[in-house]
Amino acid sequence: MIPINAPQIGEEEIEAVVKVMKSGVLTHGLGAGPMVTKFEKKFAEFVKAKHAIAVNTGTSALHLAIAGMGIKRGHEVILPSFTFVATAEVIAIVGAKPVFVDIDAETYNISPEEIEKAITKKTKVIMPVDLYGLPADMQPIRENTDKHGLRIIEDSCQAHGASYKGKPPGAFADAACWSFYASKNMTTGEGGMITTNDNELAEKMRFMRSHGEKEKYESLMLGHNYRMPEIQAAIGCIQLKKLPKFSAKRRENAKRLSAKLRKAENLQLPKEPRGYKHSWYLYTVRLKDAKRKKRDRTVEKLRQKGIGTEVYYVNPIHLMPYYRKFGKYKLQETEKAAKQVFSLPVHPGVTAKQIDFIGESVLHDIM
């Protein structure tokens, strides 16, 4: 089976882990051990941010950002429904209301026009998602939030190595959140990061990361145990150095696969609009005008051929049982995409020969 994604771990990562284990420093009471501090510094430099706060998961990063901005019951946060549930989950955790809006049919990212329609007096934050690794259209979103006095948390958990208008994810946001889960473009096994240029917010999130403590046993505020272990940070330092090479290989594979699939008139290929740089976390195609059953049959045929084809996200969040209590939504483009899209492997471990096999298999099964 060619997996949809696979961590690219080598001897350097293994050596880094062994070195940490031999040092005896596996964690730090305030979450600021030597490897974590080094990883934060390197990651902040990579995404051109003033601050980077390392945590144990991407979900923790999203939660710290939303909690750090003081979002609570009675507040509303606007986000897409076509994303992983964690984006909405952290809003519900703090007692706020997730307000779901529709996506752009070409990019699958949140529609700036739909954001404008959903803003109320209770709206405090906009949470765009850089879905599949393609940055959201951040400039009009930033202009909109500035007009209304709102803040932006950019869910960049899939966008390592991407850019928008020549700038890394987070450049137009008040904070950006990243995941280093095993499937991501770079990994620490589990892990996350928040990047921001806001000094006050960064300090608050550092305290909240470790039980609200500025000093040991001196909690200034309500916090959590979201510390990143030293082993994860050591892996992250090595993976970050390799990320440009990983990204280049993903881009090469995506380009080759697009060339193969271009002849399929009933297939919408992923877009990379002018001014955007895709991270190619997921190469997602769309079976035009298809019903869900036809898409699902295609996916199953490809899996039977050993191609790790997946559907992200088969159930939009607003249709999930728990989240229906936040209101009834009819999100036409979101619901249509959920029935038609599927993703194909383009990660750095996929060879050119395998890309050709994937392309030929898709053409055979849909034409």
Residue 148 and residue 27 in one domain: yes
* 60 and 123 both lie in a single domain: yes
Residues 210 and 282 in one domain: no
Q: Is residue 117 part of a domain?
A: yes
Dihedral angle, C-alpha 44, 49, 55, 58, nearest 10 °? -110
Both tokens of residue 157? 């958990």
Structure tokens at 66: 């939303």
Q: How far apart are CA 58 and CA 50, in angstroms?
A: 19
Shared domain for 162 and 225, answered yes or no, is: yes
Kindly state whether residues 77 and 201 are assigned to the same domain: yes
Task: Specify the length of the chain in residues.
Answer: 367
pLDDT of 49 > 80? The answer is yes
pTM, two decimals, is: 0.97
Report the DSSP beta bridge partners of residue 79.
Answer: 100
pLDDT at 142: 98
- pLDDT tens for residues 278-288? 999 999 999 99
98: nearest Cα among 116, 82, 80: 80
- Last residue of a domain, which of 238, 269, 299? 238
Domain hosting residue 256, numbered range: 247-366
The fraction of the chain above a pLDDT of 90, given in percent, is: 97
Q: Provide mean pLDDT across the span 357-364.
A: 97
Residue 220 lies in a domain: yes
Based on the fold, state whether residues 252 and 335 are members of the same structural domain.
yes
Is residue 313 reached through a cis peptide bond, with omega within 30 degrees of 0 on the bond before it? yes
* 197 and 278 in a common domain: no
Residue 73 inside a domain? The answer is yes
For the segment 100-131, what is each residue's pLDDT rounded down to a tens digit?
999 999 999 999 999 999 999 999 999 999 99
In a domain, residue 5? The reply is no
Q: Which of 209, 238, 267 is the last residue of a domain?
A: 238
Report how far residue 255's alpha carbon sits from residue 271's, in angstroms, rounded to the nearest whole number: 11
**pLDDT interval class at 316 (50, 70, 90):** very high
Condensed to tens digits (0 to 9), the pLDDT of residues 65-95 reads: 999 999 999 999 999 999 999 999 999 999 9
Q: Are residues 162 and 275 in the same domain?
A: no
Are residues 176 and 138 both part of a single domain?
yes
Residue where a domain stops, chosen among 188, 211, 238: 238
Residue 1 included in any domain: no
CATH number, domain of 165, equals: 3.40.640.10
Decide if 116 is inside a domain.
Answer: yes
Is residue 3 a part of any domain in this protein? no
- Cβ(195)–Cβ(40) below 8 Å: no
How many CB atoms lie under 10 A from the CB of residue 81?
Answer: 27
SS3 228: coil
How far is residue 240's CA from residue 255's CA, in Å, rounded to a whole number?
A: 23
The answer as to whether 42 is a domain residue is yes
Q: How many domains does the chain have?
A: 2
* Residue 22 and residue 157 in one domain: yes
Is residue 309 domain-shared with residue 213, that is, in the same domain? Answer: no
User: Quick check: 361 pLDDT over 90?
Assistant: yes
> The domain that contains 280 carries what CATH number?
3.90.1150.10
Do residues 58 and 188 share a domain? yes
